[in-house]
Amino acid sequence: MQSRTERPDAVIDAPKGNWVDRYAPERWRPWLRLSRADRPIGTWLLLLPCWWGVGLAMMYDAPRLFDLWIVIACAIGAFVMRGAGCTWNDITDRDIDAQVARTRSRPLPSGAISLRGAYLWLLAQGLIGLAILLTLGPAAIWMGVISLALVAIYPFAKRFTWWPQIFLGLAFNWGVMLAYAAHAGQVDLAPVVAWLGGIAWTIFYDTIYAHQDVEDDALIGVKSTARLFGRNSPRYLARIAMLAVALLGLAILLSHRNLLIAAIGLAGFAAHLAWQLKNFKPDHGDSCLRLFRSNRDAGLILALFLALAGLS
């Protein structure tokens, strides 16, 4: 296992040679690892629906100078709040993580950070996120406050449902409505439908991710769609991918302007999901991780073309 990392204190499942291991001051490394700063894919997957929301809002209405700040604020907020969410997740999962080979080297189960320290780090990140949120207007603020309930519930979902990926999707795609509200001062039907499409997308990519842990999860009783679908995962994931594309397509239609440009982005998004399905091998953990991380590119394709449609 150690050969996968460059430093003896690095987390086993972090990307080899990540910036935290290579460049961060030693005293900061455990805290950055607790926030998953050593693996930025989670920040991307939280951020991209926010950028979809800005694009949809500009398509429905018109671009504004304030949209530039929304884009920047969402990027900062996604980094900080993803870190807070990971910290909360590791607090609640510390005993489970200690039993799983892939996660037992994380800061809490390994003892690099105390439980009290983790709670203080969670508070600090939450306060930074709040400061960013307060700049986005009343509608976005309320959307941000409501999202905290989803974030709080998610770590417990795998204890009581075979569909914890739904709860992850509820939280991770909330930003499409929050960012839309920051632009428009309200939430219309288009971002709600896009939120539902994003939930389907999250089920798709997180099921692929969860296939890395099916054996350990079965031993300790943790539920997931990867375990639920089993070897039928490719068939179920194809249906879920089609649902995601259909819902996002409907959201685009509800946005009225420059539909062709947005449709090109949706086609690219759909093609990327199809490529993932073609290369999906449930029993190959490293391949599953690579496909999971590739969803940054899928989401970026759609975000780029929604932005072009909104700005045109």
50 pLDDT higher than 70? yes
Task: Name the residue with tokens 């296992």.
Answer: 1
| Closest to 249 (Cα-Cα) out of 262, 237, 236, 268 | 262
Write out pLDDT tens, residues 138-165: 999 999 999 999 988 988 888 889 999 9
Euclidean distance between CA atoms 140 and 70, whole angstroms: 10
95 pLDDT higher than 60? yes
- Residue 275 inside a domain? The answer is yes
- Residue 6 inside a domain? The answer is no
Categorize the per-residue pLDDT at 173 as very low, low, confident or very high, splitting at 50, 70 and 90. very high
Q: How many CB atoms sit inside 10 A of residue 127's CB?
A: 11
Output 141-150 pairs: Cβ under 8 A, ≥24 positions apart: 142/181, 143/174, 143/177, 143/178, 143/181, 143/187, 144/178, 146/174, 147/171, 147/174, 147/178, 150/174
203 pLDDT higher than 50? yes
- Residue 45 inside a domain? The answer is yes
How many Cα atoms sit within 13 Å of 111 on the Cβ side?
A: 0
> What was the pLDDT predicted at 8?
56
Quick check: 59 and 310 in contact, CB under 8 A?
Answer: yes
Per the structure, how many domains does the chain have? 1
- Residue 232 inside a domain? The answer is yes
Q: What is the pTM assigned to this prediction?
A: 0.91
Categorize the per-residue pLDDT at 221 as very low, low, confident or very high, splitting at 50, 70 and 90. confident
- Residue 112 inside a domain? The answer is yes
Q: How many CB atoms sit inside 10 A of residue 115's CB?
A: 10
What is the secondary structure of 212-238 as a DSSP string?
GGHHHHHHHT---HHHHHGGGHHHHHH
Domain hosting 306: range is: 22-311
Euclidean distance between CA atoms 172 and 168, whole angstroms: 6
Write out pLDDT tens, residues 281-292: 998 888 999 999
Euclidean distance between CA atoms 249 and 254, whole angstroms: 9
Categorize the per-residue pLDDT at 9 as very low, low, confident or very high, splitting at 50, 70 and 90. low
Euclidean distance between CA atoms 209 and 201, whole angstroms: 12
How many Cα atoms sit within 13 Å of 62 on the Cβ side?
A: 0
- Residue 30 inside a domain? The answer is yes
Read off the CATH number of the domain in which 233 is found.
1.10.357.140
Among 7-11, 41-45, 87-91, 170-174, where is mean pLDDT lowest?
7-11
- Residue 12 inside a domain? The answer is no
Q: Count H helices, E strands: the chain? A: 17, 0
Which residues fall within 8 angstroms of residue 215, CB to CB, at 6 or more apart?
none
Is 104 or 121 the better-scoring residue by pLDDT? 121
- Residue 258 inside a domain? The answer is yes
